[in-house]
């Protein structure tokens, strides 16, 4: 019989590998590529075939959320530039587009905090369309954990 | 519909101030089924607008991923004393309006 | 039915109870920073929408006499010191909590229809009244018999899992169950806004969730056994400040 491998020792091994940098370059590259794809797919319904450039947009989501029904998300821009519009997309929701925000002359900054209802763990994408027509985007992953007790009818 | 809005009473001209707005709404996304297995029809607030003395601060379309009792906070530039107005539009066509005074010194 | 326990068993039971005794800790202590921030800010705490509605209901005239809560009780802030549950003065065998008291007031004094337990209006009014005592310890009526009855419920094993309230919320408080920390099950934040409910809910609704979770038949909202349990919990957590409307998972 082989020795049982428990989850803890696997996690510890994974952490050690990551810390040693053994996996990081390859993982980071793969992640960038897949994030670009995720962003392109998520934003096509809004921006069509316009190229999506990574950057300029700030997106703050919790790494882990205790409940998917209300996850606080903030978007903003790197600089003072005002985009024509910003969108947020919950890529794994049945209808992914969450909100489209158009800022008017009285907005001090292109900055909004709101709360999303997320169907499960997923990638959130935020994008900004600038006055020159370029589209910038960024993404972040959020893990939804489940509660301790099964609740009937919630 | 009950709404709660936070606007500072007094701000200095040119400053940015934070506004928070929350509305009591189930934001029924149309994907749930009731105890009898029947689909629960969608009913959400699909639009939110904030104006400052009539000028747009922001104007948002909301879709099904926006949470129940939707919340938004954002930054407004202080220009003149006057009124901030808020407007939520429901799928059923009803419109909820709220206003808050602001003094700019 | 009461029966006398042999002395050694009785002493052992007392010893176990003392060993398990922990200082009361609010559910807020177990909440994530995000939830704590949400609760702390009145304009980010969605429960305050219900409080605001309750404040308006307090002044709203209703019923045959065209009176409001305010007509008899004055300002809502005068409710800060009230103590519930208590016994019905007309029938001391009957226990009343704030919710059932409001319903009685509507029917008997205002000639208005009851709102219904767990209705938006009753939750709103209950939350607005409890909110008046926010930050203060709530007064508890020291009724030994009622508190003992509630404690009996609390310590009785029930349901398919054969678990008592005490086995999770006293003996295992602070330990982990999947990704959650088991709280002491304190009642100081109710009615509370739960993310799972995506709305405000009563303490009795929370009891039903717990009953269901251990595979026990839940009691009706507002039932005598739930009010007795509510009374015991209020007494057990009497040193904690009221947090209504608390925000929880």
Q: What is the CATH number of the domain that holds C209?
A: 1.10.760.10
* C243 band by pLDDT with thresholds 50, 70 and 90: very high
Interface contact flag, B26 C198, Cβ < 8 Å? yes
Do C240 and C142 belong together in one domain?
Answer: yes
Q: Decide if C247 contacts C34 (C-beta within 8 A).
A: no
The per-residue pLDDT for A7 is: 47
- Domain assignment present for C57: yes
Segments of chain A scoring below 70 in pLDDT: 1-34, 146-154
**Residue C41 falls within a domain, yes or no?**
no
Instruction: State the total domains in chain C.
Output: 2
Helices (H), chain C: 7-20, 33-40, 47-58, 69-73, 98-104, 120-131, 144-155, 165-169, 203-213, 224-236
Smallest Cβ–Cβ distance between B77 and the set A70, A88, A107 belongs to A107
Quick: pLDDT tens for A12-37. 544 444 444 444 444 445 555 568 88
- C interface test, pick of A116, A147, A150, A153 with most C CB neighbours within 10 Å: A147
Question: What pLDDT is attached to residue C5?
Answer: 52
Residue C45: closest CA among chain B residues belongs to which residue?
B22
Same domain assignment for residues C143 and C221: yes
Predicted interface score ipTM higher than 0.90: yes
- Smallest CA–CA distance, residue C123 to chain A, in Å, is 18
- C230 and C144 inside one domain: yes
How big, in percent rounded to 5, are the helix, strand and coil portions of chain B?
Answer: 0, 60, 40
**C7 within some domain:** no
Contact A98 B74 (CB under 8 A): no
Q: Are residues C123 and C141 in the same domain?
A: no
Q: C185 and C107 in one domain? A: no
Domain membership of residue C1 (yes or no) is no
**pLDDT band, residue C22 (cuts 50/70/90):** confident
Q: How far apart are CA C101 and CA C115, in angstroms?
A: 12
Model confidence at B33, pLDDT cuts 50, 70, 90, reads confident
Q: Which domains does chain A have, with CATH numbers?
A: 7-144 (2.60.40.2470)
Determine, for residues C249 and A147 on separate chains, whether the beta-carbon distance falls below 8 Å: yes
By the CB < 8 Å criterion, does C55 face chain B? no
Q: If you measure CA to CA, which chain C residue comes closest to B3?
A: C49
Mean pLDDT of C10-31: 69
Spell out the domain ranges in chain B: 3-30+40-104
Last-in-domain residue among C106, C131, C156: C131
Which among A96, A104, A118 has the least Cβ separation from residue B58?
Answer: A104
> C44 touching B, CB under 8 A?
yes
In DSSP terms, C201 is beta-bridged to: C192
Boundary residue ending a domain (C94, C112, C131): C131
Query: C196, A67 in Cβ contact below 8 A?
Result: yes
Domain assignment present for residue C5? The answer is no
Token representation of residue B80: 């003149």
Close Cβ partners of A133 (under 8 Å, ≥ 6 residues apart): A50
Chain A interface test: which of C167, C180, C192, C208 (most A C-beta within 10 Å): C180
A70, A102, A108 ranked by CB distance to B67: nearest: A70
User: Which of these three, C91, C116, C131, is where a domain ends?
Assistant: C131
Which residues in C have their CB inside 8 Å of a CB on A? 32, 34-35, 38, 177-180, 182, 195-198, 209-210, 212-213, 249
Radius of gyration of chain C (CA): 19
C169 and C125 in a common domain: no
- In chain A, count H helices and then E strands: 2, 9
- Alpha-carbon distance B6 to nearest alpha carbon in chain C (angstroms): 6
To which H or E segment does residue A27 belong?
helix A24-47
Residue in A with minimal Cα distance to C34: A72
Name the residue of chain A whose CA is nearest to B73's CA. Answer: A113
Which chain B residues have a beta carbon less than 8 Å from that of C49? 2-4, 22-24, 69
Sole residue written with tokens 């008997």 = C108
Print the domain residue range for C182. 25-30+137-248
| Cα→Cα distances C161→A20, C98, C110, C215, Å | 45, 31, 45, 6
Q: Confirm or reject contact between C53 and chain B (CB < 8 A).
A: yes
Q: Is C187 part of any domain?
A: yes
Report if residue C17 sits inside a domain.
no
A68–B contact, CB cutoff 8 A? no
What pLDDT does A67 receive?
86
Q: Of the candidates C43, C50, C198, which has its C-beta nearest B20's C-beta?
A: C43
Tens of pLDDT, residue by residue over B49-103, are: 999 999 999 999 999 999 999 999 999 999 999 999 999 999 999 999 999 999 9
Q: What is residue B34's predicted lDDT score, i.e. its pLDDT?
A: 86
Q: Examine the domain organization and report whether C150 and C90 are in the same domain.
A: no
Does residue C13 fall inside a structural domain?
no
Architecture of domain B3-30+40-104: Sandwich (2.60)
In DSSP notation, B26-55 reads: --B-S--B-TTSPBPPPB-EEEEEEEETTE
Please give the Cα distance from B74 to B50 (Å, whole number).
10
Active site residue C210: yes
* Same structural domain, C116 and C206: no
């Amino acid at each position: 019989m082989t020795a049982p491998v428990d989850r803890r020792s696997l996690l510890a091994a994974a952490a050690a590998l990551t810390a040693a940098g053994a996996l990081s370059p390859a993982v980071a590259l793969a992640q960038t590529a897949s994030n670009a794809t995720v962003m392109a797919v998520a934003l096509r319904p809004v921006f069509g075939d316009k190229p999506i450039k990574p950057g300029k947009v700030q997106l703050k989501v919790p790494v882990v959320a205790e409940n998917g029904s209300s996850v606080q998300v903030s978007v903003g821009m790197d600089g003072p530039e005002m985009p024509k519009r910003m969108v947020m997309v919950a890529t794994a929701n049945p209808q992914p587009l969450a909100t489209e925000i158009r800022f008017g002359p009285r907005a001090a900054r292109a900055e909004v905090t709101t709360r999303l209802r997320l169907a499960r763990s997923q990638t959130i994408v935020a994008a900004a369309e600038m006055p020159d027509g370029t589209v910038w985007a960024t993404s972040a992953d959020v893990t939804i954990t489940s509660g301790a007790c099964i609740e009937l009818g919630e | 519909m009950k709404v709660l809005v936070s606007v500072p009473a007094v701000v200095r001209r040119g400053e940015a101030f934070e506004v928070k707005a929350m509305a009591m709404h189930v934001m029924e996304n149309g994907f749930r089924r009731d105890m009898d297995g029947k689909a629960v029809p969608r009913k959400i607030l699909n639009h939110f607008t904030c104006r400052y003395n009539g000028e747009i601060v922001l104007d948002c379309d909301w879709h099904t991923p926006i949470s129940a009792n939707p919340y938004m906070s954002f930054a407004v530039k202080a220009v003149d004393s006057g009124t901030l107005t808020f407007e939520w539009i429901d799928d059923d066509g009803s419109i909820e309006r709220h206003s808050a005074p602001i003094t700019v010194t | 039915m009461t029966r006398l326990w042999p002395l050694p068993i009785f002493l052992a039971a007392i010893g176990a109870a003392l060993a398990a005794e922990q200082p009361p800790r609010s559910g807020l202590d177990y909440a994530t920073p995000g939830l704590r921030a949400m609760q702390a800010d009145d304009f980010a705490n969605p429960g305050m929408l219900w409080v605001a509605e309750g404040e308006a209901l307090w002044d709203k005239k209703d019923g045959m006499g065209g009176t409001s809560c305010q007509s008899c009780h004055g300002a809502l802030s005068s409710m800060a010191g009230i103590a519930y549950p208590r016994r019905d003065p007309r029938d001391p065998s009957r226990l009343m909590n704030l919710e059932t008291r409001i319903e009685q007031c509507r029917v008997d004094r205002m000639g208005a229809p009851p709102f219904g337990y767990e209705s938006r209006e009753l939750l709103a009014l209950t939350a607005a009244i409890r909110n008046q005592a926010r930050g203060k310890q709530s007064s508890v009526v020291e009724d030994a018999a009622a508190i003992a009855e509630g404690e009996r419920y609390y310590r009785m094993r029930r349901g398919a899992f054969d678990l008592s309230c005490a086995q999770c919320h006293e003996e295992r408080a602070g330990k982990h169950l999947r990704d959650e920390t088991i709280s002491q099950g304190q009642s100081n934040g109710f009615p509370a806004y739960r993310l799972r409910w995506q709305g405000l809910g009563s303490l009795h609704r929370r009891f039903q969730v717990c009953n269901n979770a251990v595979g026990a038949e839940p009691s009706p909202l507002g039932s005598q056994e739930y009010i007795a349990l509510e009374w015991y919990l209020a007494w057990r957590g009497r040193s904690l400040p009221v947090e209504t409307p608390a925000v929880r998972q």
